[in-house]
Structure 1
């Protein structure tokens, strides 16, 4: 499951135990302006015992590796439950070198599980060469299958993680549509959508498409992150999201 860091540590502390109890393997936290994915991840880790916490992703153009290592030391997140996701952020030049150097510094600093957020083929190749996995975003199951196959050909041991924006209630759909439009306005994402021949809304899960769609993604990648899009960002909204996804998975399993 995925949330935005903007929900804050308090909400994370309230919902993380329910996420763990429902059987989710990890809570992924987007690093958003004015909020800190590591702070939110630390809050979730403090009230759970098995749930992995992950950042998806922290931009190293504004939070370089030395700062991340200092923050990790201060927050004391259990190393065996942390996945540190990083990306190039808004860097317009030298993005590959920036991420490559950050991965190397984080490795030297003792970070054991690093994934790289990647759109284009060169950054995906860097993830295969240097990191423990690649984090993909805004893809259909078919496009995800192609990029996952490419990654595994380069790094058979690396894993492929995919963010899928998901709304399980009708009143959350307008917010999901707004999120899709916002990403389509970002030049790097717009170019990627054009290269793949996709529209952002082709890649999401809507309330009536939840049964079966999760399984289609799970068949082609190693980890599916259902990025929860809810009408409001209160704990009750996320609790209903967890319940609805869990119910859908149980129904699908029973049908099989």
Structure 2
């Protein structure tokens, strides 16, 4: 079973400038990894730059940094700087993100996500190794780019993947893959498409965790997340591929008609329980360990709100982190 144990940062309710105590609590609880994301909160790099200085024993990762929202050179510079700040401790997760994040929020054309991800992966491998890059990759072309500060230890590059084409690309050309929005029972289906990967290929997964024994509360939180994410075309296609077409079609149909309440009501408890970890901290920890047994080498929790966290403030947060640790 994986000895790595990750937490998504930053955590809600704590300003970034005050995260040092949070990172210390996470480390003291037995977590090995801090992983950031990039949607509409903090950017992917700043929380990890703070962690590089404040938590020198922790491994760091981005899951994910979009391949569209920064130019290739800037993306390479950001990754190189973090790799220099945390030598040997940083894994660089990239992915296509979504039309909303890329197009609606960043005013960038979201086209050819597979090709853009492939081309950025190939560019970053060369650039972070210190090579001069002068090449037309297809979705972008660069002239004579070379990092002024290539990291002495280039970061491993992981590729976010949902379906066979991207999973096979990750296995063939990346150092690992990042999975999302799947149950432990789905892991084998995904990894069957990455069977050509090297033995040291890392498999990271973000796992939504709602540590409360109030199942009704957790399922309500889970339904809102499922409706928000699994109606995105890429995630909808992913779950059709995983075999959830029949059980999720009522949600998709209600959502498409504009019936948001109906879409939430159409999500069965069994789907929420498959995709959202909830229960006591001990139960949550056991459920996350099921992902590790299924083949996830880097399980990364994403902490969801609970009544205790909402009313208990920072003390409740630190207590919860300790309870979820190993």
Q: What's the TM-score once normalised by structure 2's chain length? A: 0.68
Deviation at 1:60, TM superposition (A): 0.8
Aligned to 2:235: 189
Q: Which has the higher contact order (CA 8 A, sep 6+)?
A: 2
Which residue in 2 is equivalent to 1:179? Answer: 225
User: Which one of the candidate residues 188, 194, 203 is aligned to 1:151?
Assistant: 194
- Give the match for residue 253 of structure 1: none
Give the counterpart of 1:105 among 99, 106, 123.
123
Superposed CA RMSD in Å reads 2.5
Q: Is it true that 1:48 corresponds to 2:55 in the alignment?
A: yes
Deviation at 1:124, TM superposition (A): 0.8
Q: Secondary structure at the match of 1:166?
A: strand
| Contact 2:28/2:322 (<8 A) preserved | no
Higher relative helix content = 1
**2:31 matches 1:24:** yes
1:115 Cα deviation from its structure 2 partner: 0.6
Task: Find the aligned partners of 1:114 and 1:47 in 2 and give their Cα distance.
Answer: 23
SS in 1 for 2:88: helix
Q: Which runs of 5+ in 1 are unaligned?
A: 250-256
The 8 Å contact of residues 211 and 278 in structure 2, kept in 1 or not, is answered as yes
Aligned twin of 1:242: 321
Whether the aligned pair in 2 keeps the contact of 1:169 and 1:230 (CA below 8 Å) is: no
Are 1:224 and 2:299 matched, yes or no? Answer: yes
- 1:60 matched to which residue of 2? 67
- Show the counterpart of 2:252: none
Note closer, same or farther for the CA distance 1:133–1:11 as it changes in structure 2 (3 Å cut).
Answer: farther
Per the normalisation by structure 1, the TM-score is 0.85
The Cα of 1:102 is off from its aligned counterpart by 1.3
Aligned counterpart in structure 2 of residue 169 of structure 1, from 203, 212, 218: 212
- Tell whether 2:90 aligns with 1:82: yes
Larger Rg: 2
Report the Cα offset of residue 211 of structure 1: 5.1
Tell me the number of residue pairs that the alignment of Structure 1 and Structure 2 aligns. Answer: 247
